Amino acid sequence: MNLSNLIKIFFIALLYFLAGNFSLANSSDKSIVTLVIFFAEGISLAGAILFGAEVWIAVFIGQFALASYNGVAWQPSLGISIVNSLEIILAVYFFNKFKLNKNLSTFRDLFGLMLIIIFILQPFSSIFGNLVLLKFHIIERADYIRSVVFWFAGNVLGQLLVTPTLLLMYYNITKKDIYKVIIVAFVTLVLSYFFFKVYPITNSFLLLGFSIFLTLFLSYQMGVHYGAFVTVIISIISLYLTQNGIGVFIDSSYINNIINFNSYFLFQTLLVLLFGTLLFDMKNQANNLKILVEQEMEKNRQQQFHMLQQNRLSLKGEMISMIAHQWKQPLNNLSLINQVLILHYESGKLNDDVIRDFERDSTNQIKQMSQTISDFTNFFSPEVKSMEFYLKDVISKSLKLLQPILLKESIKVDISVDNNSKILLHGYPNELGQAIINIINNAKDALVENRENDREIYIQIEIIEKDIYLVIEDNAGGISDAIIDKVFDPYFSTKSKNGTGLGLYMSKMIIEEHMNGKLLVSNTQIGAKFEIILPIYFFKSSALPK
């Protein structure tokens, strides 16, 4: 055994001896078996759980010294010491067998420890300890049951009160928390002095209300270890004052005083440990849930950012494809203008008028191509701030950008408005336009795949109460019932090669999260119908061009 273990054993033995003497000194009958809270038992059990079964040596030494000091002969002192040492070995065995955590971090750990104390340790200790006393005629046979009950009650209270407190303090108090412990102890002593001496409380229920409020408040705000710590301090002060005839636990008989005292602190101890642990667990679970929610929200933000980046890359690809379609005609025109210039040169008819015509016509084509780039860049650029905009402008721009592709695929677009109106919305027009383009592109793909001719897309605008309904419908036959509920899922696509599965997902996110609207899908008799429902910001009667 090394020096460190020897110091631990000596220290626990000394604490056991001093705490045991304090309990016996505050017992009016001055017997080795007392109904008073036996604090020494709580110290020994905490030491055994923390440092292992070898603590039995400290318990043996401390109990032997305690019994001898209080006038018990060496033979019964030896027997009691052996019983209490075996109790410690049993405690370690069952604590490990039930796989309880030493830090009592869960309700299960705390409740398991209580069950071990009440149903294993103290029945063993009280029965066999008193048999030793009976064997050596320290108690009479007629007093055996009474002595077992007293031993059991005092030791159970000592272990229930002190053991969890020491374990919780050991695992939860760091060096930087020492000042908190000192402050809590000082405040408890001051309040106890005030309520016991200066303005003494004479009603046990009033004292219970004060102490329970204080201990549960500390348990919830700072941890169960502080609530248990304060309970131990109040119990020590109350025991000392009760023995000296002060306090609320003063009755006509000593037994009644101790029974009232024990009942009071048993109730408060169980309440603080069980209810306090539940409160603290609830607080920790709430904090953990908050952290988990924040982590999941951050993951969701990262995932959405990743999908947004993917969608932007996809949109850039579509934008390049649209620009290519838009540039085909200007490029063809430029080619013709160049050929006309060459023909004039070869025929010797190149003059100032021809050069001016060439400059004018080529400049117009180049401006048109440049304007196309600007239109696409502005339309697909992200918007930082929301703004007011007209729905008709967004629809017009979206169709203008899509027009070459739609013409190439022989798709006719029919716009219908239920009345003449100018509808002002508030939000992100470019994002709304991208959502509209995504929906029309999906309709275009479905039409190309499923219909050879008479390909049509119908766009209808309706005002219903304070909402605007933008309906985009095609005549491509509709979406299969097996997958219609999945079309807005991320990465879900029916396109085997070119689909990213993000277009409709991002469209729904734009409409519902950025525009405070709804995006719905359903099938009609001729095809698929997407409904964009947006709140109207302002409505003014005016002509909306078709």
State the greatest distance between any 2 C-alpha atoms of the chain, in Å, as a whole number: 144
pLDDT less than 70: residues of the chain: 1, 28-30, 251-252, 280, 304-319, 321-323, 325-326, 329, 372, 375-384, 418-421, 491-502, 538-546
Ordered by where they begin, the domains of the chain are: 1-166 (1.10.1760), 384-540 (3.30.565.10)
Distance CA 363, CA 267 (A): 95
Distance CA 110, CA 104 (A): 5
63-73 b/e with 16+ CB inside 10 Å = b? Answer: bbbbbeeeebe
Residue showing tokens 């000091």: 69
* Residue 331 Cα to chain centre, angstroms: 59
* Residue 14 Cα to chain centre, angstroms: 45
Q: Model confidence over 530-546: pLDDT tens digits?
A: 999 998 876 554 444 34
- DSSP label at 512? I
537 within 8 A of 347, measured Cβ to Cβ: no
The beta-strand segments (E) located in 180-273 are none
**CB neighbours of 292 closer than 8 A, spacing ≥ 6?**
none
Select from 533, 531, 393, 523 the least CA-distant residue to 464: 533
**Which amino acid is present at 409?**
E
What number of CA atoms fall less than 13 Å from residue 110's CA on the CB side? 27
Q: Model confidence over 73-87: pLDDT tens digits?
A: 999 999 999 999 999
Residue showing tokens 């007093």: 143
Beta-strand relationship, 455-464 and 411-417: parallel
Q: How many other C-beta atoms can be found within 10 angstroms of the C-beta atom of residue 320?
A: 11
470 within 8 A of 520, measured Cβ to Cβ: no
pLDDT at 541: 46
Phi, psi of 490 (to 5 degrees): -65, 140
Residues listed for the chain = 546
pTM across the whole model: 0.56
Q: Model confidence over 153-170: pLDDT tens digits?
A: 989 999 999 999 999 899
525 within 8 A of 412, measured Cβ to Cβ: no
Reduced DSSP (H G I as helix, E B as strand, rest coil) percent helix, strand, coil of the chain, to 5: 70, 10, 20
Distance CA 529, CA 474 (A): 7
Name the 3-class secondary structure at 106: coil
Q: Which helix (H) or strand (E) holds 127?
A: helix 122-135
Distance CA 230, CA 236 (A): 10
428-455 b/e with 16+ CB inside 10 Å = b? Answer: bbbbbbbbbbbbbbbbbbbbeeebeeeb
Beta-strand relationship, 538-540 and 422-427: antiparallel
The beta-strand segments (E) located in 13-164 are none
Distance CA 468, CA 520 (A): 13
Q: How far is CA 316 from CA 229, 312, 313, in A?
A: 66, 6, 5
249 within 8 A of 196, measured Cβ to Cβ: no
**Which amino acid is present at 459?**
I
pLDDT at 11: 93
Walk across the sheet containing 518-523 and list its strands. Answer: 411-417, 455-464, 467-474, 528-535, 518-523
- Mean pLDDT in the chain? 83
- DSSP label at 102? T
pLDDT at 114: 92
Give the tokens for residue 541.
Answer: 């009667």
Q: Is the dihedral of CA 251, 252, 254, 259 positive or negative?
A: negative
452 within 8 A of 510, measured Cβ to Cβ: no
CA gyration radius, the chain: 43
Name the 3-class secondary structure at 231: helix
Distance CA 536, CA 396 (A): 18
Burial class (CB in 10 A: 0-12, 13-18, 19+), 50: middle
